[in-house]
Structure 1
């Protein structure tokens, strides 16, 4: 089956690789235009664009998927189906109707839970024990199309959004390939999503990553893990902004919320319940370091409270 693949970040690469190795023909990829990156703000191609060019696959980078030139080229290619993974732009009805079997989207949650841009981050921050990945038929509504296949995955106690997304990206790639196989074989049916259990996963903002020390320790732990590696959990130590890695919860309640205690081998912070131990910290403009190393050299004022 001839397909056109749409995706942009590294998260989409396992799916692209799986489809290239499958029985289907990847005739082209659609990805976001080159974007500025680094201190020099030099324009660089997306990870999907780079991989496709390495593989000798045509790369389409419309500013918008509704651009007439892109639409004309899509009609010329005439794909039977268009799988999409983290592409980053809305596909309008005119484009949705071109492939015979439409566009199918790999989404990293067990729909209808966590529709939207940040399902993995929100599932960790929300305290879910299980998440998953779904392939569904794309419609002109946010992640609302009928589901063609689902897998589930347990959220581990030490998962960050980065580690969990990596597992789901690889497992979801196999799911996406299998769904395409069944579409071509004609032995799969789409199941409408339930109206109950719908939740939304808005994109995380910098303020979402500002650690709330007035929350219970388990919620602080989830917030930080959900924001790791991006956008990166942070707090203020006086006038100094600190980026924080995952913490370790304890059973001791010795400090007030945000209160900092620096020991020889640990840095402890109070929450609304029990204390947590900082793992790695990154002061502004410096490298990531162990919290104990930072605490020994930071010359912190006595009684400092993180905010």
Structure 2
């Protein structure tokens, strides 16, 4: 079966590899254009584009799937399109090109967490279980009928990056199985059932920690926004980047945002019990352990996170 693969970030690469290993004829890859990265602003292909180059698969670069891109997709004559975190909408004209439609691998248990940041929002919300589904792409936002489902436990120390890494591999297997079932004429897509929740893309502001919130909520947010857009707080008018924090219910209470040392541990007050800082990056400096940062302060009694 001839497959068009659409995807952009690293979490989509395992799916591309899985389809190639399964013997599908991946006739083209649709991905976002090269982007400038790093301080030197080096023009860099997307992880999917780079992998497609290694596999000698033709690449279609597109920010938007317009009539020209749709024509290029049609020229590839795909039987089905598989899409994993491409990063753009697929219009009606392009949806109609493959005879089996577009099969989307989405990292949530739809209809929960429809949108661009399902794993991040799931962790922030405190879900115990999440997963991934394959579904038939429609014009609506993640509304199509579901082919297959897998579940994944959210571990207490999971960041969105760690959870996405696991789901990217298990989801790749699910995607290959779904396309195999479609090829064999054995796939059945069923309408989504359950309560709908939305997972819009995270902004930088979503990473700001509110020390008035309970410790568990702060910890979940910090894990949910790691690695992107990243957790942070303000200190003396400067933004300080933070790695995930750890609730410490046994520690003596502190006012929200106030810092204290407990042995070699740096604690911050919250709306409930304190949390432990792990690693942090003050403005203009490298990431360091919280203990190393604290040793550079004359006293923590006057330090307050905003």
Give distance in 2, aligned partners of 1:133 and 1:92.
23
Alignment partner of 1:15 is 2:15:
yes
Q: How does 1:57-96 map to 2 (within 5 A)?
A: 57-68=57-68, 70-96=69-95
Alignment partner of 1:260 is 2:259:
yes
Contact 2:259 2:300 (C-alpha < 8 Å) held by counterparts: no
Alignment partner of 1:201 is 2:237:
no
Alignment-derived partner of residue 126 in structure 1: 125
Tell me the C-alpha RMSD between the 2 structures: 1.2
Deviation at 1:286, TM superposition (A): 1.6
Alignment-derived partner of residue 287 in structure 1: 286
Give distance in 1, aligned partners of 2:206 and 2:197.
17
Structure 2 residue runs without a partner (length 5+): none
Contact 1:31 1:48 (C-alpha < 8 Å) held by counterparts: yes
TM-score normalised to structure 2 length: 0.97
Deviation at 1:25, TM superposition (A): 0.6
Give distance in 2, aligned partners of 1:199 and 1:210.
22
Contact 1:115 1:201 (C-alpha < 8 Å) held by counterparts: yes
Contact 1:264 1:296 (C-alpha < 8 Å) held by counterparts: no
1:156-178 deviation digits (Å, cap 9, x = unpaired): 00000000000000100000000
Give distance in 2, aligned partners of 1:25 and 1:54.
15
Contact 2:29 2:60 (C-alpha < 8 Å) held by counterparts: yes
Deviant stretches of 4+, over 4 Å: none
Contact 2:253 2:272 (C-alpha < 8 Å) held by counterparts: no
Deviation at 1:53, TM superposition (A): 0.7
Alignment-derived partner of residue 109 in structure 1: 108
Alignment-derived partner of residue 31 in structure 2: 31
Deviation at 1:246, TM superposition (A): 1.1
Number of matched pairs: 305
1:21-62 deviation digits (Å, cap 9, x = unpaired): 112111110001111222232322111111101111101113
Contact 2:258 2:301 (C-alpha < 8 Å) held by counterparts: no
Alignment-derived partner of residue 145 in structure 2: 146
